[in-house]
Structure 1
Amino acid sequence: MEGSKKISYFRNYRFPVLLLAAIAVGCIVGVMLGPKAEALKPVGTIFLNLIFTVVVPLVLISISSAVANIANLKTLGKILGIMLAIFIITGFLSSSLMISAVKLFPPAEGVQIELPKPEQTEPLKTGDQIVSTFTVPDFSDLLSRKNMLPLIIFSILFGMAVSLAGEKGKTVARGLEALAEVMMKLISILMWIAPIGLGAYFANLVGVFGPELLGSYARAAAVYYPVAIIYFVLFFTLYAFIAGGNKGIRTFWKEILTPAVTALGTGSSVATIPANLAAAQKIGVDREVREIVIPIGATIHMDGSCLSAILKISFLFGIFGMPFTGLDTYLTAFLIALLSGTVMSGVPGGGFIGELLIVTMYGFPPEALPILAILGTLVDPPATMVNATGDTVSSMIVTRWLKGKEWMKQKLAAG
C-alpha cells in the first residue's frame, strides 16, 4: 500500500517536478554563463512560438465547441454571469490584500530613482479604445494572440449560431468537438518539450537580466513577491474550499502545479491556457464550463495584475513624497486595479494603458511612466502565475454554483 502511494505521488507530480528542475538548472546555467546565456534564448523562443501558434486555433475551437454543444443557451448566460461576478470579487480581494501590504511595508521607502524621459505617448481615446477592445476590422486580424478578446467574442457568437442552427448545426458541433480533442492531444505533445524550452528561457533571463533585479526596485519586488505567494497559497486554497470543500483543496493543488510553473516560465496567461484546460479536466470541471471560463479568464481575469496595480500606485506615491492615504485615494486605486485586471488586460497594449491610467488619474508627471514599465517587468513572473492559475480555481467555483456543492462527489461517482 505504501509503495503504491509513492508511485501515485510520483505519477501526479513528476511533470511539474521535471519542469521545476529544468528551470532550476536553467537558472544555474544563467548564473554561470552570465550574458553568454543569451545564446540559449532561441531554444526557449522556439518552445514559446510553438505554444503561441497553437493558442489561437485552440481558443477558437474550444470556445465555439463548448458553446455549440450547450443544449440550453440560458446555461451559457449563467456561466458568463457567475464568471464575471467571481472575477470582480477576486479582483477586489487581491487589491485589498496589496493595499494592506503597502501600508505595512511602503515599497518606495528610501528609493532613489532618476526619472528618464519617456517616449512620446498619445492620449487615451476612450471611443477608439472601446472599438479596438471588442472588435477588429478584418477576419484575418482575429487570428492573432494580440486580439484575444475579439477572438473570444467571435467564438462565442459562432458557437451560438451553430447551436441555433438546429439539426444542421449538430453536424458542425460534433466536428468542433472532435477538433477540440485533437487540439488537446497536440498540446500534450508540445508540453513534453516544455522542460527544455523553459530551462533555456530561464537561463537567458537570469544570465542577461539578473543584475538588474538587484537595483533600486528590489524593495518593491520584495513586497510584491511574498504577497503574491500568500495570495496564491492562502486565497486559492480558500477558493478551492468554497468550490469543493476539502476534496476541492486536495484536487486543486494536485493538478495546479503544471499550469503554475508554465505561467511562471512563459510569462503569459494566454500561453498557459492549454495547461489550465488540462488541469481543469483532471479536476472534474465540466467541459462547457472550463472551455469558456479559462480562455476568457486568460484575457480579462487578472488578480496578479490587480496586485501589481496597487503596488505601482503606492510606489509612485512614495517616490513623489505623497501620502498613500484617504478614502478617495483608495477608491481610485481599487477602480484602477479592477480596470487593469479585468478590462484593460483584454485590450491590445493593455499593460501600458493600465500604467498610463495610473499616471493620468492621479496627475503624476509623464516621467513616471517608465518607472511603472520597469516595475511591471520585475513583478511579471509571479503576477502571471497568479493571473493564470486563478482561472482554473474560478472554473471550479462556477461549476459549484451551477451543479451544487456535491459536484465533485457526483463527478467521482460518474467515473
Structure 2
Amino acid sequence: MKFLKKNLLIQIVIAIGLGSVLGNYLPESIGRIFSTFNSIFGGFLGFSIPLIIIGLIVPAIGNIGKNAGKLLLITTGIAYGSTLFAGFVSYGVSIATFPNILSLGQLGNVAESTKNLAPYFNIEMPPMFDVMSALIISFILGIGISKGDFKYLEGVFNDFQNIIMSLINKAIIPFLPLFIFGIFLNMTYNGQVYVVLGTFLKIIGVIFVLHIFVLLFQYVIAGMISKQNPFGLMKNMLPAYFTALGTQSSAATIPVTLEQTLKNNVSPKIAGFTIPLCATIHLSGSTLKIVACAIALMLVQGQSIDFTVMVGFIFMLGIAMVAAPGVPGGAIMASLGVLASILGFDTEQQSLMIALYIAMDSFGTACNVMGDGAIAIIVNKISKNTTEAETVSAS
C-alpha cells in the first residue's frame, strides 16, 4: 500500500483501467457523483493555474538573475537552446507521423459530447486573473527582482513558491488519479475511451524513439566540442539515466548525475555548478513529450494546428520549463498555463495531458538528466577555452 500511495504512475494506470471498465457498468446516478467531483476539481484547477504560474516563474527568473555571471548566462542559453531544439524536433516528427497513425477528429471535444455524465451541481471558481495576465505579471516581477535589490520582495515570492509547491503536492497531485478516473469513466460512458487508449499507446511509442534521438544528438555535439567519444560519454551517464527512471525526479538524481559527470572529464567546479542548475532549467525530454502530446490531442479532437501558434507555444513552453520544479510531474504542472493561454486547452484536455505525461514521466526525466551531463561537458570545454584565452591575453 505504501508503494501504491507513493507511485503516481501506478495510481493513474489503475484510474484509467477502472474508468475504462466501470463506465460500462456503473449506473448513471453513481457516475454523476464522479462527474460532480470532476466539475469542482476542474474549477479549482482552473482557479489555481494563474497562482501556480506566478508562484513558480517569479522566483525562478528572480533567482537565475542573481549573480548572473558569464558562465550562468552561457549555461542558461545552452539549456534553453536544447529545450527549444527538442520542442521543434518533436513538432516536426509529430506533424509528419501522427496524421498517419492516429484517428483524426474521431474523439471530438470531450466536453461537447451529447452523452456525458452531467454533474449534480457546479461551484463557480473564477480565477483572480487569466493565464496570460499571470505570465506577464510573472515576467515583470521576476525580471525586476533579478535586476534590483529587492530582498523583501524576493523573500515573499520564495515563500509563496513554497505555498504553491504545497498546493501542488497536497491538494492537486493526490486527487489527480480520481479526476482522471472520472474523465475515463465519462469517456467510456460516451464511447470514446478506446480511441483515447489507442492514441496513448501510439504516442508513447513515438515519444520513446524521439527521446533516444535527442540524446544521441546532444552527445554527438558534446563529443565533437570536447573531442571525446560520444558513446563513451553516454555510457558513463547510464547510471544517472537509470536512477532517473526510478526517481522520476531530476532533483533527486543530482548526486548520481554529478558523480557520473565527473567521469566524463568535467571539472568538479563546473559539474557542481551546471548539474544542479540544469536540473531546474533544462527539460528537453519534458518539452518534447508535452509538444507531442498536445499535437496528438489536437489532431484526435479535430482541432487545426497553426505553425505560427505552435512556434509561439514552443518558445513560451521553453520559458515555462525554467519554472518547473525538479520533482515528479513538475514540468506538466508548470506548462498548464501555456497550454491554456496559447492552445486553448480546457481542464479536461489538461487532465488528459497530465495522464499522458505521467505515463511517460520516467523516460522524460531520464532524458532531462542525461542531457544535463551533455551540457556540463560543453560548458566545461567553453570554460577551459575562455580561461586559456584570458591566460594568453594576460601574458
TM-score normalised to the size of structure 2? Answer: 0.59
After superposition, give the CA deviation of every residue in 1:313-345 in whole Å (9 maximum; x if it has no partner).
Answer: 31232133123243x123223223312433445
Superposition deviation, residue 43 in structure 1 = 9.9
Counterpart in 1 of 2:60?
none
Counterpart in 2 of 1:282?
263
Instruction: Indicate whether 1:240 and 2:186 are aligned.
Output: no
Q: How does 1:396-415 map to 2 (within 5 A)?
A: 396-404=377-385
Distance 1:317 1:275, change over 3 A: same
Q: 1:355 aligns with which of 336, 354, 366?
A: 336
Q: How does 1:254-269 map to 2 (within 5 A)?
A: 254-269=235-250
Counterpart in 1 of 2:102?
109
After superposition, give the CA deviation of every residue in 1:268-296 in whole Å (9 maximum; x if it has no partner).
Answer: 11111011110112222112211111101
Instruction: Indicate whether 1:137 and 2:156 are aligned.
Output: yes
What's the secondary structure of 2:156's corresponding residue?
A: coil
Distance 1:292 1:113, change over 3 A: farther
Distance in 2 separating the partners of 1:113 and 1:378: 22
Counterpart in 2 of 1:230?
213
Counterpart contact for 1:309–1:336, Cα < 8 Å: no
Distance 1:140 1:337, change over 3 A: closer
Instruction: Indicate whether 1:311 and 2:303 are aligned.
Output: no
Counterpart contact for 1:242–1:397, Cα < 8 Å: no
Distance in 1 separating the partners of 2:217 and 2:126: 37
Counterpart contact for 2:340–2:346, Cα < 8 Å: yes
Distance in 1 separating the partners of 2:220 and 2:257: 19
Instruction: Indicate whether 1:342 and 2:322 are aligned.
Output: yes
Counterpart in 2 of 1:150?
none
Q: 2:77 aligns with which of 73, 79, 85?
A: 85
**Structure 2 residue identity aligned to 1:332:** G
**Structure 1 residue identity aligned to 2:226:** G
After superposition, give the CA deviation of every residue in 1:254-281 in whole Å (9 maximum; x if it has no partner).
Answer: 3101000011111111111011110112
Counterpart in 2 of 1:323?
304
Superposition deviation, residue 88 in structure 1 = 1.9
TM-score normalised to the size of structure 1? Answer: 0.56
Q: 1:294 aligns with which of 259, 267, 275?
A: 275
Counterpart contact for 1:336–1:354, Cα < 8 Å: no
Distance in 2 separating the partners of 1:378 and 1:243: 35
Counterpart contact for 1:112–1:216, Cα < 8 Å: no
Distance 1:260 1:350, change over 3 A: closer
Distance in 2 separating the partners of 1:242 and 1:215: 40
Distance in 1 separating the partners of 2:304 and 2:289: 19
Distance 1:406 1:136, change over 3 A: closer
Distance 1:121 1:145, change over 3 A: closer
Counterpart contact for 2:290–2:332, Cα < 8 Å: no
Counterpart in 2 of 1:7?
none
Distance in 2 separating the partners of 1:242 and 1:339: 27
Distance 1:121 1:99, change over 3 A: farther
Counterpart in 2 of 1:94?
86
Counterpart contact for 2:282–2:321, Cα < 8 Å: yes
What's the secondary structure of 1:227's corresponding residue?
A: helix
Counterpart contact for 1:95–1:310, Cα < 8 Å: yes
Counterpart in 1 of 2:175?
none
Instruction: State the aligned residue count.
Output: 275
Distance 1:345 1:132, change over 3 A: farther
The answer for unaligned runs of 5 or more in structure 2 is 9-65, 112-118, 146-153, 167-193, 389-395
Distance 1:96 1:114, change over 3 A: closer
Superposition deviation, residue 299 in structure 1 = 0.7
Superposition deviation, residue 373 in structure 1 = 1.2
Distance in 2 separating the partners of 1:215 and 1:314: 15
Instruction: Indicate whether 1:387 and 2:368 are aligned.
Output: yes
Distance in 2 separating the partners of 1:142 and 1:321: 37
Q: How does 1:62-77 map to 2 (within 5 A)?
A: 77=69
Superposition deviation, residue 357 in structure 1 = 1.5
Distance in 1 separating the partners of 2:304 and 2:92: 14
Q: 2:253 aligns with which of 254, 272, 287?
A: 272
After superposition, give the CA deviation of every residue in 1:382-415 in whole Å (9 maximum; x if it has no partner).
Answer: 11111111111101100111113999xxxxxxxx
Distance 1:105 1:235, change over 3 A: same
Superposition deviation, residue 132 in structure 1 = 8.7
After superposition, give the CA deviation of every residue in 1:357-394 in whole Å (9 maximum; x if it has no partner).
Answer: 11221234443221111111122111111111111110
C-alpha RMSD over aligned residues: 4.0
Distance in 2 separating the partners of 1:144 and 1:259: 30
Counterpart contact for 2:237–2:260, Cα < 8 Å: yes
Distance 1:144 1:78, change over 3 A: farther
Distance in 2 separating the partners of 1:316 and 1:396: 36
Superposition deviation, residue 250 in structure 1 = 4.6
